[in-house]
Structure 1
Amino acid sequence: MSLTVTTWSLEQTSPADLLPAAAPDAEVRIVRAEVPSPEFSRFLYASVGGDISWTDRLSYTYAQWRKLLERPGVETWVAYDRGTPAGYLELAARGEQGDAAPGVVEIVYFGLLPAFRGRRIGGHLLSYGVARAWDLAERWPGLAPTGRVWLHTCSKDGEHAMDNYLRRGFKLFDTKVEQEPDVTPPGPWPGAERD
């Protein structure tokens, strides 16, 4: 059995495109996970994406996670609500000086753990993360200044994802419709059940 999935690609081409969200009422801090940690990154990936069919990295080995996290220009920004990880955003520079398309930063993954959705944390985290995408080269000598920030979302993502991206100033530049196998989301770990 297959599932029809629509994927939308969105971009910003200037820091002025960013329309920041208001900070949430909760005590939310956003911190960069500066030490590459495959264990922590896999926890974030599986916990945020477990119920929305993020499966592409589930088979990664420890070495594959480490290699990915140690690339220049890859950053993980984590939102904490009163000390508890609530969600994250992963940035990846896609062009270095001398490349054909320098200064491109992708928001590779972004989302909240299920218990933290619907509490206005997502808009705040996205706003903060996009601002960090625009100033990424300041933290990574040798990277070209950011000239474009892009991401993609799909019809399997949370119901408010697209609206959040549009409200933050992203513009749609591509749409694809494909058939994918209909796979039951694995949850954050095998056998997990949501209430």
Structure 2
Amino acid sequence: MLVRKVHLQQRHPGDLRPARTPPEPAAVLRADQLSGDVPRALYHLIGRAHGWTARRCWDAHDWEQHHARPDREIWVARYRRAHVGFAELAVHGSDVQIKYLGLMRSFQGRGLGGQFLTEITRQAWRMHERVAGAPVVRRVVLTTSSLDGPSALSNYLARGYSVVDRTTARCRLPVPAGALYRVMARP
């Protein structure tokens, strides 16, 4: 499968153009406020449709070790009583990368994606305040691809991100994008 990638950035906190708050906004929470299984399940549920495969074989211990890293933060969107969004921030020198960001497809189209991206971007710009020894954030970066939701790129552009580069790569996915599946909790 041929995958088109678009690499984007913001170079100043003032670049952020916040989305309108939806009539029923989601709560955005750091994953350390939740059970350890919630982020792992969301990564699989949301990521399967977008080709997120890097952590497919991780067990609870792998997730726990990764989550304990001070240069990483996992965030979750909760809408009503359902956990519907997953995001991960990673510090790379004075850059913060939005490594993952996604919503469950059944919750897209309600304004939650713009709200979630706005809050995650704000948190990215302030990450140096939470990570000891991290330099002041100079740039927030992310990559979207043709595997992402149909509104992903337009959402990033509307929030003030600018395109840095476009690439194309051949990618082999373990399952077709959008395939149905069930995540089973491991004992």
Under a length normalisation based on structure 2, what TM-score does the superposition of the two structures give? Answer: 0.89
Please give the secondary structure, in 1, of the residue aligned with 2:122: helix
Kept in 2: contact 1:50–1:189 (CA 8 A): no
Higher mean C-alpha displacement, 140-149 vs 163-172: 140-149
Kept in 1: contact 2:45–2:183 (CA 8 A): no
Please give the secondary structure, in 2, of the residue aligned with 1:166: helix
Please give the secondary structure, in 2, of the residue aligned with 1:178: strand
2:149 aligned with 1:151, yes or no? no
For 1:147-186, what aligned pairs fall within 5 Å after superposition? 147-181=138-172, 183-185=175-177
What RMSD, in angstroms, separates the aligned Cα atoms of the two structures? 1.9
Which of residues 110, 117, 121 is equivalent to 1:119?
Answer: 110
Please give the secondary structure, in 1, of the residue aligned with 2:171: strand
Alpha-carbon distance in 2 for matches of 1:148, 1:27: 27
Higher mean C-alpha displacement, 4-13 vs 45-54: 45-54
Count of aligned pairs: 182
Alpha-carbon distance in 1 for matches of 2:27, 2:33: 18
Kept in 2: contact 1:46–1:187 (CA 8 A): no
**Structure-2 change in CA distance of 1:38 and 1:124 (3 Å):** same
Aligned to 2:46: 48
Deviation at 1:190?
6.3
Which of residues 169, 182, 185 is equivalent to 1:189?
Answer: 182
Which of residues 17, 25, 28 is equivalent to 2:26?
Answer: 28
**Structure-2 change in CA distance of 1:187 and 1:91 (3 Å):** farther
Please give the secondary structure, in 2, of the residue aligned with 1:30: strand
Which of residues 74, 84, 87 is equivalent to 1:86?
Answer: 84
Gapped runs of 5+ residues in structure 2?
none
Under a length normalisation based on structure 1, what TM-score does the superposition of the two structures give? Answer: 0.85
Structure 1 runs of 4+ with >6 Å offset: none
Alpha-carbon distance in 2 for matches of 1:146, 1:37: 29
**Cα displacement string for residues 92-141 of structure 1 (whole angstroms, at most 9, x for unaligned residues):** 1112xxxxxxx110001101012211110000010011000001111122
Alpha-carbon distance in 2 for matches of 1:75, 1:190: 22
Deviation at 1:65?
1.9
